[in-house]
């Protein structure tokens, strides 16, 4: 007949050996230890057969098997009726696996459990197995194209500096008066301005610059224009093939939180603020075994974010990547609620020191972390995600309409100038006449100019007579 753990520990020689030599202790009669367990992927994976027998696998089960062989005991798994880890109840008892151990319906709780002060008052914690933070998972969103993205290769400060450099160069050319204005179609100031624009757009410069002053001014502007346009072209190409993705932020969204940390009675701090969101309907406590369902529905839709421990978030993302080949969720870089995780036993249980000795040996060898990574295929596929997404698709009107707006505005301005020249020819003629008088033509050239202008105006000369 198989003895229970309590019956085996009633033997004085067994209890004395256990207390004096926890590192090397072994049971002689191999008692049965009742272990409370619940599914927590990747640490524990529970299965219930057709006959009702529970089978389990995972890193925590590997740890339990190692301890059973080392200490020489058998074990039987039981599940709590509510499927939870444990939280205090109004009558002073506890729910979940903590309550099962507190009521002595089980000798140990597999967990792993977050180490908290309230739990330590009713159960005994083993050596810490691992340390983990709570993270935020949110939908990564879809690629976003900004139609005004062609302005982004240069920062606003660079655009402002470029405009200032153009203005200074323009003013310097006007002040120095080094430009040889032979055209009679535009005035002196506009001709100098168009020189800067043509240079910036990589067009030719059909100008004669007598004197070193003008050459130095235009040469400096050429250097600035070339460096700026080369940088703009390279950055623009990079931006066109990379679409920005929205960075998820939990503010303003509903949250789903796994409920096995036992934080419902927190009076102050960030946990109290999170718990207060329950009153306004912005937070929902859900059991751990439902996290995959909510991640694939509410979180993927972008209406909720998920507060969950790091190892579970790694497992959920890896499973989705294994099925779809895509990383669809974003894990926030910021973490919070750092917690230690351990197994539990009955309060003042003499078996805990023997368990601690085996756990220390296991952690020193690094086996537990290796088991966890082995239980998560593609564990590192979605660890570090960028907020920009590389896309391979042709540009569409929806992503480039900003450039066409600029083109339409330029054509509209040109049309206005054309209409002004058609309906107000006198202005164009006077401007040409003024520039002709300043251009230093010979007397014969001025006479030919007067004849052409008289013919254009019905025989009436508009040039001033000298």
pLDDT tens track, the chain, 466 positions: 788 888 888 888 888 888 899 889 999 888 999 999 988 888 888 887 677 677 888 899 999 999 999 999 999 999 888 888 888 888 888 988 999 999 989 999 998 998 988 898 999 999 999 888 888 888 776 666 677 777 777 788 888 888 888 888 878 877 776 554 444 434 566 777 777 777 777 776 666 665 677 777 777 887 888 888 888 877 776 666 555 554 444 433 444 444 444 444 556 566 667 667 766 767 777 766 677 777 777 777 777 778 888 888 888 888 888 888 888 787 877 777 788 999 999 998 899 999 999 999 888 888 888 888 888 888 777 777 665 555 556 667 777 787 788 888 888 988 888 888 777 765 555 555 554 444 444 445 555 555 555 555 554 444 444 4
Whether 359 is covered by a domain: the verdict is yes
Positive or negative CA dihedral for 21, 25, 28, 34? Answer: positive
Whether 45 is covered by a domain: the verdict is yes
Q: Which pLDDT score, from 0 to 100, does residue 267 have?
A: 61
Most distant CA pair in the chain, distance: 135
Q: Please tell me the total count of domains within the chain.
A: 1
Bridge partner residues of 448 (DSSP): none
Torsion of CA 342, 346, 348, 352, to 10 degrees: -50
Whether 179 is covered by a domain: the verdict is no
Q: Which pLDDT score, from 0 to 100, does residue 454 have?
A: 56
State pTM to two decimals: 0.60
Q: Which pLDDT score, from 0 to 100, does residue 466 have?
A: 43
Q: Which pLDDT score, from 0 to 100, does residue 125 have?
A: 93
Query: ∠ CA(113), CA(118), CA(120), 5° rounding?
Result: 60
Ranges of beta strands (E only) in 287-372 are 304-309, 329-331, 336-346
Whether 206 is covered by a domain: the verdict is no
Between CA 111 and CA 126 the distance in angstroms is 11
Whether 55 is covered by a domain: the verdict is yes
Residue 13, Cβ density class (10 Å: 0-12 exposed, 13-18 middle, ≥19 buried)? exposed
Whether 78 is covered by a domain: the verdict is yes
Q: Residue holding tokens 């009436």? A: 460
Query: Helices H, strands E: what count in the chain?
Result: 17, 14
Whether 347 is covered by a domain: the verdict is yes
Domain CATH number, residue 65: 3.40.190.10
- Helix/strand/coil for 257: strand
Torsion of CA 113, 117, 123, 128, to 10 degrees: 40
Tallying the residues shown for the chain, one arrives at: 466
- Structural tokens at position 181: 């204005």
- Parent domain of 31: 5-132+340-374
- Structural tokens at position 248: 């998820």
Whether 389 is covered by a domain: the verdict is no
Q: Which pLDDT score, from 0 to 100, does residue 257 have?
A: 46
Q: Which pLDDT score, from 0 to 100, does residue 247 have?
A: 47
- Helix/strand/coil for 194: helix
């Amino acid at each position: 007949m198989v003895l229970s753990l309590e019956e085996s520990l009633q033997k004085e020689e067994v209890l004395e050996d256990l207390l004096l030599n926890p590192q090397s202790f072994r049971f002689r009669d191999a008692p049965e230890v009742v272990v409370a367990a619940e599914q927590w992927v990747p640490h524990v994976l529970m299965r219930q057969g057709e006959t009702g027998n529970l089978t389990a696998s995972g890193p925590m089960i590997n740890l339990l098997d190692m301890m059973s062989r080392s200490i020489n005991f058998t074990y039987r798994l039981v599940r709590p009726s509510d499927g939870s880890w444990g939280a205090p109840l109004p009558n002073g008892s506890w729910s979940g696996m903590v309550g099962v151990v507190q009521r002595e319906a089980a000798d140990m709780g597999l967990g792993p459990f977050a180490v908290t002060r309230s739990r330590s008052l009713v159960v005994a914690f083993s050596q810490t197995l691992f340390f983990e933070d709570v993270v935020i998972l949110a939908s990564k969103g879809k690629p976003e194209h900004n139609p005004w993205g062609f302005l982004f290769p240069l920062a606003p400060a660079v655009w402002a500096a470029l405009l200032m450099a153009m203005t200074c160069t323009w003013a310097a050319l006007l002040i120095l008066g080094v430009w040889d204005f032979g055209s009679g179609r535009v005035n002196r100031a506009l001709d100098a301005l168009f020189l800067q624009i043509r240079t910036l757009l990589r067009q030719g410069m059909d100008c004669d610059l007598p004197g070193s002053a003008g050459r130095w001014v235009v040469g400096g502007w050429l250097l600035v224009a070339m460096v700026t346009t080369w940088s703009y072209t390279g950055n623009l190409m990079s931006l066109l093939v990379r679409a920005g993705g929205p960075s998820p932020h939990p503010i303003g969204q509903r949250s789903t939180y796994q409920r096995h940390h036992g934080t419902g009675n927190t009076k102050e701090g960030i946990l109290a603020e999170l718990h207060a969101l329950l009153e306004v309907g912005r937070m929902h406590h859900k059991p751990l075994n439902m996290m995959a369902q909510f991640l694939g529905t509410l979180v993927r839709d972008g209406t909720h974010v998920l507060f969950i421990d790091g190892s579970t978030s790694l497992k959920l993302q890896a499973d989705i990547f294994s099925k779809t080949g895509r990383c669809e969720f974003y894990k926030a870089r910021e973490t919070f609620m750092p917690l230690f995780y351990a197994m539990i036993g009955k309060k003042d249980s003499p078996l805990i020191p023997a368990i601690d000795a085996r756990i220390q040996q296991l952690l020193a060898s690094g086996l537990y972390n290796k088991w966890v990574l082995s239980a998560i295929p593609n564990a590192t596929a979605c660890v570090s995600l960028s907020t920009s997404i590389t896309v391979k698709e042709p540009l569409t009107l929806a992503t480039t309409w900003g450039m066409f707006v600029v083109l339409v505005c330029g054509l509209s301005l040109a049309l206005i100038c054309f209409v002004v020249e058609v309906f107000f020819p006198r202005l164009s003629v006077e401007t040409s006449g003024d520039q002709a008088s300043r251009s230093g033509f010979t007397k014969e050239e001025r006479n030919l100019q007067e004849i052409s202008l008289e013919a254009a105006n019905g025989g009436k000369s508009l040039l001033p007579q000298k």
